Amino acid sequence: MGEITSPMGRFDQSKGESYMSVLIANGTIVTSLGEYGADILVEGETIVAIGKGLDKRAAEVIDASGKYVLPGGVDNHTHFALPFGGTVTRGFETTPAAILGGTTTIVDYAPQPRGMSITDSVAKHDEERASGKSAVDYAFHGIVMDVTDGLFEEIPKLPERGIPTLKLFMAYKGTPYMVDDATLFKALQAAKKSGVTIMVHAENGDVIDLLQKQCVSSGQVDPKYHAVSRPPAVEAEATARAVAIAAMADAPIFVVHVSCREAMEAIRDAYIDGVSAYGETCPHYMTLGVDNLSKPNFEGAKYVCSPALRSPEHHAAMWQAIGKGWLQVVGSDHCGFDWKEQKHMGKDNFTKIPNGAPGVQYRLALLWTYGVETGKISRQKLVNVYATAPAKFNGLYPRKGDIAVGSDADIVIFDPQWEGTMSVNNSLEGVDFCAYEGMKQKGRVEKVFLRGNLSVDNGKFVGQAGQGRFLKGKPFGAAYQGL
Ligand SMILES: [Zn+2]
């Protein structure tokens, strides 16, 4: 023990500075920009030095030879403790699943109860559900679920509360949260000056409502009709409309969970035309086919999520889009609904099946196995879509989403040689099925540090419930992408 030197200054441990010092040696560091062999010195919660042959005195040394060292993942899209259709998803006590999968920060959607402001809704979600329970650091998106009188005055003030993003729904007709075009336009105008990024769930709610009614009235009530009532065209139309409205408001827009080629192309083409239009896709839209919805014995209900799963040509379009940078983020859209109890609420009518699938644990594994290993995307691109870009959009960069001096020591040590199978038996998602059951996995998360604390070791969660902290996002996150 004693003195150690780093670019951040000299620290004398004999004076009672109680940081842990860890050296991750000999690994290959992968960032969104490149990869190189180097050591990482962590003091306390922070990366303080990166370099070759760093001084190993006073440090616990972890040998990462043959391993990749990645920044902890930032999951732009989770729904812990979300009320939906009379039931609620698994809560923050299941966030060890996130960190086991390499995700050290989640950006969760805070639902808005009727009549409550966005700010109060976020505070309530934190106090009642996340605080003291989350095993990962967390920030929040607001969601407009009730268009109150004060909404448009509140939007510019959201960044003061650390909420730089707000989602609106263009779907779910008959609920108080489906917005019309004027509401979306007004929200974009209100958001622009203060750097709030408006996010949209883009599907045509009117057409879906009609198609659902037509299916049900003709006795087409099985899970597979979920996809019939939500074809790619309803997503493509709403996405094109959303980016056109953003262009009219001259404001950035971020389209969540893009699932089909035509919607992706609407975002890409708008961006090329000068609109600040961005988007996210999800691992299930890149790996799980629409045929899953036809599985017998109501198993198809496991795969009911919105937008619906698509055919392989759309999967290929999603891989191409993240490879080319036409979509910038891959989020899980994790919804921990169980099959036996919750999905069965729609046993006789697919419109009553809670929408959403679990997946927070598998984002990195799926991107690596089905993207990097197959040559569809580079390791740098993986890091960008799973950590760096979402950190930027949510105003958390460079504290999160990168391996850099001064960043939080959120670090994944990844073993590319490991081979196994995804299964509910090794899931911490807390539900009775794994959406990727039986699928092959190449490589795995071996160790994870959350702000310097070892939280996964040898592929097992060793952290603490409640170790996660609330993070305030900074506004103007979308500006990073437009530079
Ligand atoms: Zn969602």
Residue 8: predicted pLDDT = 40
Ligand 1 centroid to residue 397 C-alpha, Å: 22
Domain-embedded: residue 474: no
Alpha-carbon distance of 70 to 56, in angstroms, equals: 21
Ligand 1 centroid to residue 339 C-alpha, Å: 18
pLDDT(47) > 80: yes
| CA-based nearest residue to 199, from 175, 163, 231, 229 | 163
**Please, are residues 483 and 98 in contact by the beta-carbon 8 Å criterion?**
no
Ligand 1 centroid to residue 255 C-alpha, Å: 11
Ligand 1 centroid to residue 474 C-alpha, Å: 22
Specify whether 149 is located in the same domain as 237: yes
Q: How confident is the model at residue 9 (pLDDT cuts 50, 70, 90)?
A: very low
Q: How confident is the model at residue 149 (pLDDT cuts 50, 70, 90)?
A: confident
Ligand 1 centroid to residue 307 C-alpha, Å: 10
User: Quick one: average pLDDT of 90-119?
Assistant: 97
Ligand 1 centroid to residue 442 C-alpha, Å: 27
**Please, are residues 302 and 357 in contact by the beta-carbon 8 Å criterion?**
yes
pLDDT per residue as tens digits for the range 165-201 = 999 999 999 988 999 999 999 999 999 999 999 999 9
Specify whether 195 is located in the same domain as 170: yes
pLDDT(162) > 60: yes
pLDDT(1) > 50: no
Ligand 1 centroid to residue 256 C-alpha, Å: 8
Domain-embedded: residue 436: no
Specify whether 49 is located in the same domain as 182: no
Domain-embedded: residue 454: no
Specify whether 2 is located in the same domain as 101: no
Ligand 1 centroid to residue 203 C-alpha, Å: 13
Ligand 1 centroid to residue 333 C-alpha, Å: 5
CATH number of residue 83's parent domain: 3.20.20.140
pLDDT per residue as tens digits for the range 273-317 = 999 999 999 999 999 999 999 999 999 999 999 999 999 999 999
Specify whether 267 is located in the same domain as 128: yes
Residue where a domain terminates, one of 382, 401, 420? 401
Residue 480: predicted pLDDT = 76
Ligand 1 centroid to residue 80 C-alpha, Å: 10
Residue where a domain terminates, one of 44, 66, 88? 66
User: Quick one: average pLDDT of 394-419?
Assistant: 98
Domain-embedded: residue 471: no
Specify whether 213 is located in the same domain as 343: yes
Ligand 1 centroid to residue 363 C-alpha, Å: 15
Ligand 1 centroid to residue 371 C-alpha, Å: 22
Specify whether 117 is located in the same domain as 217: yes
Specify whether 48 is located in the same domain as 156: no
Domain-embedded: residue 181: yes
Ligand 1 centroid to residue 210 C-alpha, Å: 22
CATH number of residue 39's parent domain: 2.30.40.10
Ligand 1 centroid to residue 315 C-alpha, Å: 19
pLDDT(364) > 50: yes
List CB contacts of 312: < 8 A, sequence separation 6 or more. 289
pLDDT per residue as tens digits for the range 195-207 = 999 999 999 999 9
**What total number of domains does the chain contain?**
2
Domain-embedded: residue 297: yes
Ligand 1 centroid to residue 6 C-alpha, Å: 42
Domain-embedded: residue 150: yes
Ligand 1 centroid to residue 420 C-alpha, Å: 28
Specify whether 22 is located in the same domain as 114: no
Domain-embedded: residue 141: yes
List CB contacts of 210: < 8 A, sequence separation 6 or more. none
Rounded mean pLDDT of the chain? 94
Q: pTM for this structure?
A: 0.95
Q: In the numeric block, which tokens belong to residue 109?
A: 């959607």
Residue 169: predicted pLDDT = 97
Ligand 1 centroid to residue 316 C-alpha, Å: 22
Ligand 1 centroid to residue 79 C-alpha, Å: 6
Residue 477: predicted pLDDT = 93
Angle between helices 232-249 and 261-272 (to 10 degrees): 20
Specify whether 146 is located in the same domain as 31: no
Alpha-carbon distance of 468 to 135, in angstroms, equals: 5
Ligand 1 centroid to residue 426 C-alpha, Å: 24
Residue written as tokens 């994790």?
334
List CB contacts of 367: < 8 A, sequence separation 6 or more. 283, 330, 377, 382, 385, 386
Q: How confident is the model at residue 482 (pLDDT cuts 50, 70, 90)?
A: low
Residue 328: predicted pLDDT = 97
Residue where a domain terminates, one of 401, 420, 453? 401
Q: How confident is the model at residue 86 (pLDDT cuts 50, 70, 90)?
A: confident
Domain that holds residue 37: 1-66
Ligand 1 centroid to residue 40 C-alpha, Å: 35
**Please, are residues 48 and 24 in contact by the beta-carbon 8 Å criterion?**
no
Specify whether 380 is located in the same domain as 252: yes
Specify whether 158 is located in the same domain as 280: yes
